[in-house]
Amino acid sequence: MPKIKVKTSIVDISGDEMANVIWGKIKTDLILPFLDINLLTFDLGIVNRDKTNDTVTSEAAKAIKKHKTGVKCATITPDDKRVIEYNLKKKYPSPNGTIRNILSGTIFREPIIINNIPKFVPHWDQPVVLARHAFGDIYKSKEIEIKKKGKVFLKYESDDKKEVVEKEVYNYKSSGVALSYFNVDDSIIDFAKSCFHYSLKRKLPLFLSTKNTILQKYDERFKNVFDSLYKKEFKKKFDKKKISYQHRLIDDMVACMMKWSGGFLWACKNYDGDVMSDLIAQGYGSLGLMTSELQSSDGKVLETEAAHGTVTSHYRQHKKGLDTSTNPIASIFAWTRGLTHLSNIDKNDALKKFATNLEKICIKTVQNGKMTKDLALMVGPDQKWINTNEFFLILKKELSSLN
């Protein structure tokens, strides 16, 4: 069969360690034999980031902004140990942070559901997609320690000094602590737009959770921004797709999440998103089955990746020449979700079908009992596992029989 011709280029970001070995195999076994596609490849491996003084990371982000679709392999965020291990010039920031700052979008995390893989929450048979507002709140807070009696104030002063608002926070009778944090409307609006666009694209009902009964100005602002945008720009589109938007108290939302069977998008404030994304990942089971997408507020730019890291422990085995049983599914889904976005830009039905088929093949293979060790351990002691190369061989054979 001839390869599927793809007109629009895709930004391909390679990364580190075992994740990067898998990334290479995805391209050589599952993408390039079937697609006639132009890959704009950026090497974000830690060695090249060091060599380029990390300029390669912002170049990659700018390329995604320009070409609209990027797929990214997991990368090392160096700590002190990594600086020594790779003899780095400095402790570079997280590439994901740099890319997110340039694309300024929202991250959506989604579990991949396979019905023979047991979940800790067994009735979650559809995904809970979680969107985290990754700006402000406690992550940009100022905190102080109070040593003795005295007052703490919250004060705002406009640049022209004409407006001053000052409130006493607390009158301390003894030692204690205090904290202040902030957010800005532009960021909340961008977050809301990203969520509405994502809901529409995936045909998922949307819920925003806040604690607006307590924070009647702060959290109420989140609710108001979502409510008014929904009424003005999105309600008709939601009605057409038979989906809805609702605000719920965070307490009520966590209870619903446990009761419901999934199948919705949950917009979380920054801290809630940080905590709940790990809870949801664990509820569904495996890091090897969790994807992560960064989408711009207008829905036009998409960067996709697996939610897991570079899988260092497996890479150590791999370097000794040993086979590993590393799960490539989340990385493969990074490609299929990126290719689906590209198929809309390219108006390319054959490409869309290819991406859907590749996802179906991954799921079918696991359902047929062929899986990597992480999943087999979840199924039970009698479940056999295969290594990564064997898993790729099956996928490639299945894809070839379709194309």
Stretch near ligand NAP under the rule CB under 6 A, chosen from 53-61, 75-83, 139-147, 395-403: 75-83
Q: Is 261 in the site for ligand NAP (CB under 6 A)?
A: no
Q: Is 293 in the site for ligand NAP (CB under 6 A)?
A: no
Partner from ligand NAP, Mg ion, none contacting 270, C-beta within 5 to 8 A by type: none
Nearest to 60 by CA among 106, 133, 6, 10: 10
Q: Is 302 in the site for ligand NAP (CB under 6 A)?
A: no
Helix H or strand E encompassing 155: strand 150-157
Instruction: For Cα atoms 284, 108, 77, give the angle at the middle one, nearest 5 degrees.
Output: 90
Q: Distance between CA 366 and CA 19 in Å, rounded?
A: 20
Residue 352 CB neighbours (<10 A): 18
Partner from Mg ion, ligand NAP, none contacting 299, C-beta within 5 to 8 A by type: none
Residue 273 near residue 133, CB atoms below 8 Å = yes
Q: Is 48 in the site for ligand NAP (CB under 6 A)?
A: no
Stretch near ligand NAP under the rule CB under 6 A, chosen from 59-67, 70-78, 237-245, 358-366: 70-78
Options 20, 69, 277, 310; binder of ligand NAP; rule CB under 6 A:
310
In the chain the first and final C-alpha atoms are separated, in Å, by: 6
Numbers of helices and strands, H then E, in the chain = 15, 16
* Residues of this chain that bind Mg ion (CB under 5 A): 274
Q: Is 368 in the site for ligand NAP (CB under 6 A)?
A: no
3-state SS assignment for residue 69: strand
Q: Is 57 in the site for ligand NAP (CB under 6 A)?
A: no
DSSP string covering 302-315: EEEEESS---HHHH
Partner from Mg ion, ligand NAP, none contacting 310, C-beta within 5 to 8 A by type: ligand NAP
Partner from Mg ion, ligand NAP, none contacting 267, C-beta within 5 to 8 A by type: none
Q: Is 54 in the site for ligand NAP (CB under 6 A)?
A: no
Q: Is 13 in the site for ligand NAP (CB under 6 A)?
A: no
Instruction: For Cα atoms 19, 21, 309, give the angle at the middle one, nearest 5 degrees.
Output: 10
**7 φ/ψ sector (left φ>0, alpha ψ -120 to 50, else beta):** alpha
Nearest to 351 by CA among 31, 48, 52: 31
3-state SS assignment for residue 116: coil
**Would you state the structure tokens that stand for residue 226, as one six-digit string?**
């979502």
Partner from Mg ion, ligand NAP, none contacting 96, C-beta within 5 to 8 A by type: ligand NAP
Q: Is 117 in the site for ligand NAP (CB under 6 A)?
A: no
Q: Is 288 in the site for ligand NAP (CB under 6 A)?
A: yes
Residue (227 or 274) nearer to Mg ion, CB? 274
Tell me the CB-side half-sphere exposure of residue 338, using CA atoms within 13 A. Answer: 31
Residue (82 or 248) nearer to ligand NAP, CB? 82
Least separation in angstroms between CB 308 and ligand NAP: 3
Residue (110 or 305) nearer to ligand NAP, CB? 305
Q: Is 309 in the site for ligand NAP (CB under 6 A)?
A: yes
By CB under 6 A, name the binding residues for ligand NAP.
Answer: 74-77, 96, 287-288, 305, 308-313, 326-327, 374
